[in-house]
């Protein structure tokens, strides 16, 4: 059978090499950039125009609009980008991704296969370098080589169906419906992109099929439109388990691309005539007449670029409107009562360890914030009557259970990160994070222990006297301040940790605990209050001191990384 299983497997294998090259090139570029990607995104999005240029730059650098939009979704999820800022970056990513079409066009225009082996030879020595950055450069060069090897194999593996009358009759059934045909091929492009999870791979297939005479130029352009819709699925899948803001950013991406497809479909033949004119004005040929690889690939690259540039030029003025629309479409769902609820790592591992570790750092910072809120609830409960305290106590027990689940989830995530290829610095960061998450969970345990002591008192009809509660107030103040400093340290860059302030507060807590304990022993001897009252009182200030110990342990773990 001329077009049987072997031909299909050749096509599949060629596509696999192409996808691997694209993945290797994109991920290695992100590794080379490291934290710079985050810095660029957070520093260059102060207005929508800057946001668009940032999106263009990032996507052009990492060669993946999906990676950019997933990164944007995770940064919105982490609170680093606002919804409006994210829309600007997503608009820019749509322009940046058009560079891929021009790179693929280069593969058709220039015999890149002659350069593939020298590129592999150039990149190979870097793979054996000790420095992680050098290895990333090697992977980048190899990814580029594999990209063009895959493209060359795709061209060679595609069966010549242009002279097959049966195939031509079959194809004509779908190409003679006018706008209906455009919709059919647009849907095919969308489905292929959703399956392959790469608009670049679908674009490469489209270029190969069109240049081989399998597809007319206008149907190939319709497939490119479908690719623009299909590529939004990645970001929406990433945001499915994220917070409301991240889901809104992903939904904005979908709306932007659907709007673009709708307006261009309304003038599709006219727009294609404009692309044809521009191509010929640039010295090219009519893609309707000449379906050779160079003519078709250049025409589709022009179409892809012109469509996205015009779409962005229109929508950049409506970012606020898009933000309002997605806010209505995706209402707020987070409950304010659910303190210990994952927010940042719900979208899973990102494509590089640096990005995943940053995401975990954001989750730990949120965890630290929430331990303060739990401690504050405990502090408030000490002055409540039994009825109100019982309600608070039930909530605190639920929070502690949620906190335990959070610890397990974060530790599991860190375990997955640890299983990836990590640099020495990143390995130390992950190890420190394991320690931090354990200490934060211990803070919640001690907070609940304070509530348990108060609850025990109510069960035995013992309530702390007002004078003892007043003595505890300074202890609560110092512990709260130490928790706030700890939380600031979890947010700070590793080298900017407020270690001195943290140690001073820890010393204050220890000193005040010693004073309270000495007074307590004296008062017990003098029988100023009952033995049971003394036990509860001692448990409260002792647990407060433990909270201070756990807080300083967190700062120590962060400081050890910054001291490298």
Q: What is the pLDDT of residue 168?
A: 47
**pLDDT above 70: residue 77:** no
**pLDDT above 70: residue 40:** no
116 band by pLDDT with thresholds 50, 70 and 90: confident
pLDDT top residue among 131 and 437: 437
Lowest mean pLDDT among 102-106, 218-222, 464-468: 102-106
Decide: 234 and 69 in contact? Cβ < 8 Å: yes
Q: What is the pLDDT of residue 523?
A: 87
State the fold for domain 347-562: Methane Monooxygenase Hydroxylase; Chain G, domain 1 (1.20.58)
Lowest mean pLDDT among 230-239, 407-416, 523-532: 230-239
* Angle ∠(197,58,117) on CA atoms, nearest 5: 70
Q: How far apart, in whole angstroms, are the C-alpha atoms of residue 435 and residue 68? A: 31
**pLDDT above 80: residue 69:** no
442 band by pLDDT with thresholds 50, 70 and 90: very high
Which DSSP state fits 283?
Answer: T
What's the first-to-final CA gap in the chain, in angstroms?
Answer: 64
Which DSSP state fits 161?
Answer: -
Q: Which of 139-148, 277-286, 306-315 has the highest mean pLDDT?
A: 306-315
Reference 40, options 77, 83, 94, 92; nearest CA is 92
- Mutual orientation of helices 83-96 and 98-109 as an angle, nearest 10°? 10
- Pure H helices in 316-385: 319-329, 353-381
**pLDDT above 80: residue 72:** no
Q: What is the pLDDT of residue 151?
A: 64
Lowest mean pLDDT among 128-132, 275-279, 365-369: 128-132
Lowest mean pLDDT among 3-17, 118-132, 440-454: 3-17
Distances 99 to 298, 306, 450, 496, 529 between C-alpha atoms, Å: 12, 12, 60, 39, 78
Q: pLDDT (tens digit, 9 = 90+) per residue, 193-214?
A: 877 766 777 777 777 777 666 7
Burial 284-300 (b: 16+ CB within 10 A, else e): bbebeeebebebbbbbb
Q: pLDDT (tens digit, 9 = 90+) per residue, 162-190?
A: 454 554 455 556 666 677 888 888 888 88
Q: pLDDT (tens digit, 9 = 90+) per residue, 329-356?
A: 887 654 444 555 677 676 555 556 777 7
Distances 5 to 10, 12, 160, 168, 195 between C-alpha atoms, Å: 9, 10, 16, 21, 20
Q: What is the pLDDT of residue 172?
A: 55
Which segments of the chain belong to CATH 1.20.58.220?
347-562
pLDDT top residue among 72 and 298: 298
Lowest mean pLDDT among 144-148, 274-278, 359-363: 144-148
Q: What is the pLDDT of residue 396?
A: 87
159 band by pLDDT with thresholds 50, 70 and 90: low
pLDDT top residue among 415 and 105: 415
Q: What is the pLDDT of residue 504?
A: 92
Q: pLDDT (tens digit, 9 = 90+) per residue, 238-253?
A: 666 666 777 788 888 8
* CA atoms within 13 Å, Cβ hemisphere of 263: 12
Average pLDDT along the chain? 79
Q: pLDDT (tens digit, 9 = 90+) per residue, 475-484?
A: 999 999 999 9
DSSP 187-237: HHHHHHHHHHT-HHHHHHHHHHHHHTTSS-HHHHHHHHHHHHHHTHHHHHH
**pLDDT above 70: residue 50:** yes
Q: What is the pLDDT of residue 241?
A: 61
Q: Which of 6-10, 76-80, 141-145, 269-273 has the highest mean pLDDT?
A: 269-273
Can you tell me which residue has the tokens 């179409």? Answer: 303
Q: What is the pLDDT of residue 474?
A: 92
131 band by pLDDT with thresholds 50, 70 and 90: confident
Q: What is the pLDDT of residue 1?
A: 40
Of all residues in the chain, the percent with pLDDT exceeding 70 is 76
Of all residues in the chain, the percent with pLDDT exceeding 90 is 14
Q: What is the pLDDT of residue 337?
A: 46
Q: How far apart, in whole angstroms, are the C-alpha atoms of residue 22 and residue 231? A: 15
Q: How far apart, in whole angstroms, are the C-alpha atoms of residue 338 and residue 447? A: 17
- Pure H helices in 463-530: 466-491, 499-525
């Amino acid at each position: 059978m001329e077009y049987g299983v072997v031909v299909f497997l050749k096509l599949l294998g060629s596509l696999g090499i192409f996808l691997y090259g694209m993945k290797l090139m994109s991920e290695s570029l992100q590794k080379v950039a490291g934290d710079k990607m985050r810095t660029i995104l957070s520093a260059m999005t102060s207005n929508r125009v800057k946001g668009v240029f940032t999106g263009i730059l990032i996507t052009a650098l990492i060669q993946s609009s999906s990676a950019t939009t997933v990164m944007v979704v995770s940064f919105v999820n982490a609170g680093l980008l606002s919804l409006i800022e994210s829309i600007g970056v997503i608009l820019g990513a749509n322009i940046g991704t058009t560079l891929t079409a021009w790179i693929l066009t280069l593969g058709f225009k220039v015999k890149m296969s002659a350069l593939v082996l020298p590129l592999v030879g150039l990149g190979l020595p870097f793979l054996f370098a000790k420095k992680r950055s050098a290895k990333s450069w090697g992977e980048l060069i190899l990814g580029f080589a594999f990209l063009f090897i895959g493209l060359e194999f795709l061209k060679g593996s595609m069966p010549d169906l242009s002279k097959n009358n049966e195939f031509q009759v079959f194809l004509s059934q779908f190409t003679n419906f006018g706008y209906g045909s455009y919709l059919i091929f647009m849907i095919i492009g969308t489905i292929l992109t959703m399956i392959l999870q790469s608009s670049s791979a679908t674009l490469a297939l489209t270029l190969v099929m069109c240049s081989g005479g399998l597809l007319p130029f206008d149907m190939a352009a319709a497939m490119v439109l479908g690719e623009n819709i299909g590529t939004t699925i990645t970001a929406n899948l990433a945001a499915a388990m994220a917070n409301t803001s991240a889901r809104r950013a992903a939904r904005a991406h979908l709306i932007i691309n659907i709007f673009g497809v709708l307006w261009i479909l309304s003038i599709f033949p006219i727009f294609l005539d404009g692309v044809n004119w521009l191509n010929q004005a640039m010295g090219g040929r009519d893609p309707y007449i000449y379906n050779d690889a160079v003519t078709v690939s250049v025409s589709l690259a022009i179409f892809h670029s012109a469509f996205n540039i015009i779409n962005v030029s229109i929508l950049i003025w409506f970012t606020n409107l898009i933000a309002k629309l997605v806010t209505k479409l995706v209402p707020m769902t987070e409950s304010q009562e659910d303190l210990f609820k994952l927010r940042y790592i719900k979208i899973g591992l990102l494509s590089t360890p640096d990005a995943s570790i940053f995401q975990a750092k954001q989750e730990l910072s949120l965890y630290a914030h929430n331990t303060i809120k739990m401690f504050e609830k405990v502090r408030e409960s000490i002055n409540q009557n039994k009825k109100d305290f019982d309600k608070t106590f039930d909530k605190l027990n639920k929070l502690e259970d949620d906190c335990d689940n959070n610890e397990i989830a974060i530790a599991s995530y860190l375990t997955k990160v640890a299983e990836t290829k990590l640099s020495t610095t990143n390995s130390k960061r992950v190890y420190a994070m394991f320690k931090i998450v354990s200490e934060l969970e211990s803070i919640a345990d001690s907070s609940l222990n304070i509530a348990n002591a108060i609850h025990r008192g109510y069960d035995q009809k013992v309530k702390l006297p007002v004078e003892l509660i007043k003595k505890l107030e300074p202890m609560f103040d110092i512990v709260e301040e130490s928790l706030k400093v700890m939380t600031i340290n979890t947010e700070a860059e590793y080298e900017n940790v407020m270690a001195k302030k943290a140690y001073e507060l820890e010393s204050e807590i220890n000193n005040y605990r010693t004073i309270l304990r000495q007074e307590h022993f004296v008062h017990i001897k003098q029988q100023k209050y009952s033995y049971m009252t003394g036990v509860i009182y001692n448990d409260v200030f002792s647990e407060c001191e433990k909270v201070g110990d756990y807080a300083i342990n967190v700062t120590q773990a962060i400081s050890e990384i910054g001291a490298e």
